[in-house]
């Protein structure tokens, strides 16, 4: 009985929604995007991924930055015990 409760609690934690954060600068977005599907973070995100260089592609600045931990990202983080915590970063350039 206790084993089922622990399994159900673990499943509910692992199957929850994916983390997502979005930052908008107020600039009008263009169709140009910079995507990093597996930006390397470490130790549950305490050591963040390296900075995304946007100066060469986004000559008029950045309109929006989206970060998220997709299901595959969370699965890899779980399998590595949180040591490697990849995340997806999408930068939308301004018009």
What number of CA atoms fall less than 13 Å from residue 60's CA on the CB side? Answer: 14
Instruction: Tell me what pLDDT residue 70 has.
Output: 86
Instruction: Tell me what pLDDT residue 50 has.
Output: 92
Could you tell me if residue 71 is inside a domain?
yes
Instruction: Tell me what pLDDT residue 76 has.
Output: 92
> Phi-psi bin for 18: left (phi > 0), alpha (psi -120 to 50), beta?
beta
Could you tell me if residue 11 is inside a domain?
no
Could you tell me if residue 10 is inside a domain?
no
DSSP letter (8 states) at residue 42? B
pTM, rounded to two decimals: 0.74
**Whether 86 contacts 38, CB under 8 Å:** yes
State the burial class of residue 87 (Cβ atoms within 10 Å of its Cβ: 0-12, 13-18, 19+): buried
DSSP 10-21: HHHHHTSPPPEE
pLDDT in tens, the chain (95 residues): 778 887 776 766 666 566 788 999 999 999 999 999 999 999 988 899 999 998 899 999 999 999 998 888 988 998 999 899 999 999 999 99
Instruction: Tell me what pLDDT residue 47 has.
Output: 92
Domain range enclosing 25: 18-94
Could you tell me if residue 3 is inside a domain?
no
């Amino acid at each position: 009985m206790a084993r089922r409760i622990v399994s159900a609690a673990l499943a509910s934690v692992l199957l929850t929604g994916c983390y997502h954060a979005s930052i908008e600068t107020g600039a009008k977005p263009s169709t140009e995007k910079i995507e990093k599907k597996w930006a390397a973070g470490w130790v549950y995100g305490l050591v963040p991924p390296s900075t995304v260089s946007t100066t060469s592609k986004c000559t008029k600045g950045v309109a929006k930055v989206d970060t998220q931990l997709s299901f595959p990202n969370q699965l890899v983080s779980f399998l590595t015990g949180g040591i490697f915590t990849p995340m997806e970063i999408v930068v939308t350039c301004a018009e």
